[in-house]
Structure 1
Amino acid sequence: MIVNFKIRNILSIRSEQCLSFEPTSDTFKTEEYCYEVKENVKLLKIGIIYGANASGKSNILGALAFFRKLMVEGVSDKTEELDFEPFLLDDVSRNEKSSLEMSFYLNKERYNLKIEFDKKRIYSEVLSFYPGTQPAVLYDRQYNAEEDKSDVIFGGKLELGKEDKVTIIGNSINNRTVLAAFGMSNVATSRLNIVYDYFKKDIANVLHPKTLLSSYTKKHLDKDKNGKLKRFLIKFLKASDFNIENLEIKEEEITITPEMLKMLQVIPGSEEVKNDVLKKGTITNSELVFVHKTNDGEFSLSEGYESEGTMRFMGLGVLLEQLLLQGRTIPIDEVESSLHYELLSYFIKLFLLNSKKASQLILSTHDLNLLDEDFIRRDIIWFTEKDDDNGETKLVRLSSLGLHKNLSPYNAYRQGKLVKLPFLGSLFLDIEEEE
């Protein structure tokens, strides 16, 4: 689970901003909101980020996605630039290094991973953990400017053989992280496996508001051999007041037409897969079919007849099952997209009340109704706002703003007492008509 995540000089974020999941001294609903990662150490299960359009809330989630990508995917070769932009609204930041840092718990032990970089190379990367009160370095990577290469020193606690260390170092080119280099190296098992698996498997990619979840749902239902996910989704949808009694995946073999052949040849993808499809001569089309129960009986509808809200909420149900059973960190941008507020509230409550794993939800939203709920802890709410002087994003925690416990965060936010709201100007526009 993430303890905190620090970002500096990426996109709209210039000075270091920190998103923390360490709870305050507030004892409100601690059992529901916190998970004990170690004896007497608890972390928050959820963080919710509010902000006006273009205030930078999506950039917080984007920085997390970029950090994950650096750790598990890396680059194809040493000429490839890192896929990000520094802060561009001054003449200094674009030429400075950027940094990302995360503290997190795995198997009751705390880890810390920090990286410093620009678009061309990684300057430093340090991974440490805490076997006791003092940190132990697992590896320390520094850029050697004279030789234009990375020097990597491994700590004794890593317990890797000399040949394995040489292999990892050889793959740690200037623009690839040591952890990504480890992921592509044939080396013995070590503590790096735990950390790599965390970033690879336990931290999900950001779910964006326009992401279609039907394919994602079908993929997971295809793997659902014992029907456990299907039963969960049906209960989830029925409990959410959808009159859905059952769901199935219907598959149909479609013969490839000349028009489809032309499209298949130009779309990106594996040539091997394309050749297999062409050899087969057909494409398998699958769609979800929902069985609705009414007073007049049961009726089947294909997914094309379902609302965007139904399809998105079902996709969130797949993610919810992962959160409850597997222990994952899932970031969702504009979580309220296509959802009625009551469904959003229900989704969050289900997660908080039923999660017994080391899972975390990181949400951005425009829906202010959550600020008016009596079940919301103030240390899970964050605001992004743009600095008037230089346009950089500032991340502020609601619990740090000194709002009295008897005052409504909703009202205070609407009145501009917490963070600055967008100034929308006059409703009257001076429009000159042209003849």
Structure 2
Amino acid sequence: MLIEFSIENFRSIKEEVTFSLLASPDKSLEKNTFESEALNKGDRLLRTAAIYGANASGKSNMVMAFGTLREMVLNSMLNRPGDLLVHTPFKLDEGCLEKPTRFKVVFIHNNVQYVYGVAFTGERIVEEFLHYYPRGRKSLIFERKVGNGEQEAKFTKDRRVQKGILDRTLDNVLYLSSSAQQKYEKTMEVFRWFREELTVIQKADHPGLMDYTVELLGRSEEYKKLILKTLVAADLGIEDILVEYRELPFESFSSKLSGEQGWLSVRESRNKSELVDIKTVHRAGIGNVTGIENGNVNRIGSENENGNETVNEEWQEKGTEKVSSTVQFDFYEDESEGTKRIFYLIGPFIDALVNGKTLVLDELDLRMHPVLCEYLVKLFQDPSRNKKNAQLVFATHDVNLLDLNLFRRDQVWFTEKDPGTGSTELFSLTEFSPRRDKNIRKGYLAGRYGALPFIGAAEGLN
């Protein structure tokens, strides 16, 4: 469970900003919050939070920061001597170029609160620390700093073991990653949170997300039922999904390279000689029927433009005249971009809800109807569906969600560029204290809360 995340000197973010899922004392919409034994008495966490702002204001950079930290934790142990770290400091101030980027995340794992922080340049880790709160009391696991050109470390637990691990850790590798790889249990717990409980989707239309949903469909019948139930509720007309893996001849593979990117990405992530076929099953009307005899339907097989039959044998008589059928659509060719988008997202959403994960997502509203966006948000906000206290953090432009009947004031965040420095500022709607009966959508579009684009006159276009 995520409590808060701080970012400094990363892309458009110059000064430290802190995003928090710790609920304010506001008593409205308490179902949008939940308790945890690891929090102080009376504290609660938010189930969801939305980040609004103009284009290029830093919303995506917030999500990217989550992804960058997660990627570093999971993969920095693969670095070799001399490998550079991905250091993208604030570029509009020359003084920031050589300064480290800093991240700090506060979270809960197995009912224990942790605080992990790191600072790094392109060449090395300059600071790293991990605290935790067993039985509610703060305790240091490790602290690592570079002072006077030399690495300094402090351990209060398992000093000899941790000192040996640090001696084997390169300057460009996180101690958290290195120690977890060497099976030091206290850091393995934190590593597991990043790997298993934090999901970050930076490009929400990335076709690789299809693999996520396809894998869940094949994992168990229970997952498939949950995915189908959600798709049916979304009113897409889909009643079933069929996935088939089949061999693809080399000449066919090469001829498809310029085709559907989603299709190609699944094949590339698996064996290149294997094609993943996805069919969506829809309920049709009467179809090409020649007559009904003794309850059996005589039909004329229908073909698509490729000459493939699309209507299967599952005909049903309703009364004495009306019949319906199921029709198989080719997912890549026949489904809309919006349907594909929902299919991409439904896997990560269901996975988060079932397993109590924190899902951080950019552009929730991309290619989706506002009603569907609201439906996906409500999946997380409904305690009867979100029994594991999963969390959803998303960037969006969908102002239809700006409703105090849907969100608490502490669930709405804004990013805005400082006109003087060009750096991203982050602030919450709570800073404006709108009344609970206020139309915050209207207020936002009127510029009352900032975070709107300034549209100037386009000279020469008149």
TM-score category (smaller protein): 0.7 to 0.9
Tell me which amino acid in the other structure corresponds to 2:195.
K
Q: Which residue of 1 aligns with 2:197?
A: 202
Distance (Å, rounded) in 1 between the aligned partners of 2:253 and 2:24: 60
Shift of residue 333 of structure 1? Answer: 0.4
1:126 and 2:123 are equivalent in the alignment: no
- Cα 1:66–1:420 change in 2 (3 A) is closer
Tell me which amino acid in the other structure corresponds to 1:178.
Y
Could you give the per-residue CA deviations for residues 206-234 of structure 1, whole angstroms, max 9, x where no partner exists? Answer: 24133123333223323x2x311111111
| TM-score, length of structure 1 as denominator length | 0.87
Tell me which amino acid in the other structure corresponds to 2:326.
E
Shift of residue 167 of structure 1? Answer: 4.4
| Preserved CA contact (<8 Å) 1:35 1:45 | no
Aligned equivalent of 1:58, options 51, 57, 60: 60
| Preserved CA contact (<8 Å) 1:72 1:183 | no
| Preserved CA contact (<8 Å) 1:243 1:294 | no
Could you give the per-residue CA deviations for residues 322-353 of structure 1, whole angstroms, max 9, x where no partner exists? Answer: 12211111111001111111011011112211
Tell me which amino acid in the other structure corresponds to 1:355.
N
Shift of residue 11 of structure 1? Answer: 0.5
| Preserved CA contact (<8 Å) 1:143 1:174 | no
| Preserved CA contact (<8 Å) 2:280 2:329 | yes
- Cα 1:374–1:206 change in 2 (3 A) is same
1:430 and 2:460 are equivalent in the alignment: yes
Aligned equivalent of 2:95, options 92, 101, 112: 92
Distance (Å, rounded) in 2 between the aligned partners of 1:200 and 1:171: 23
Q: Mind listing any 5+ residue stretches in structure 1 that lack a counterpart?
A: 264-272
Q: For the aligned residues, what is the CA RMSD?
A: 2.5
Q: Which residue of 2 aligns with 1:235?
A: 229
Distance (Å, rounded) in 2 between the aligned partners of 1:64 and 1:300: 39
Alignment of 1:25-424 (within 5 A): 25-38=25-38, 40-74=42-76, 75-147=78-150, 150-156=151-157, 160=158, 162=160, 164-185=161-182, 187-188=183-184, 190-212=185-207, 213-222=209-218, 224=219, 226-257=220-251, 260=254, 283-296=273-286, 297-304=325-332, 305-353=334-382, 354-372=385-403, 374-424=405-455
Could you give the per-residue CA deviations for residues 70-120 of structure 1, whole angstroms, max 9, x where no partner exists? Answer: 222115113122113111101211122221111111222211111122221
Q: Secondary structure at the match of 1:422?
A: coil
| Preserved CA contact (<8 Å) 2:415 2:451 | no
| Preserved CA contact (<8 Å) 1:229 1:318 | no
Q: Mind listing any 5+ residue stretches in structure 2 that lack a counterpart?
A: 258-266, 287-324
Distance (Å, rounded) in 2 between the aligned partners of 1:146 and 1:320: 45
| Preserved CA contact (<8 Å) 1:98 1:116 | yes
Could you give the per-residue CA deviations for residues 24-47 of structure 1, whole angstroms, max 9, x where no partner exists? Answer: 111112123334354644211112
Shift of residue 365 of structure 1? Answer: 0.3
Distance (Å, rounded) in 1 between the aligned partners of 2:100 and 2:249: 54
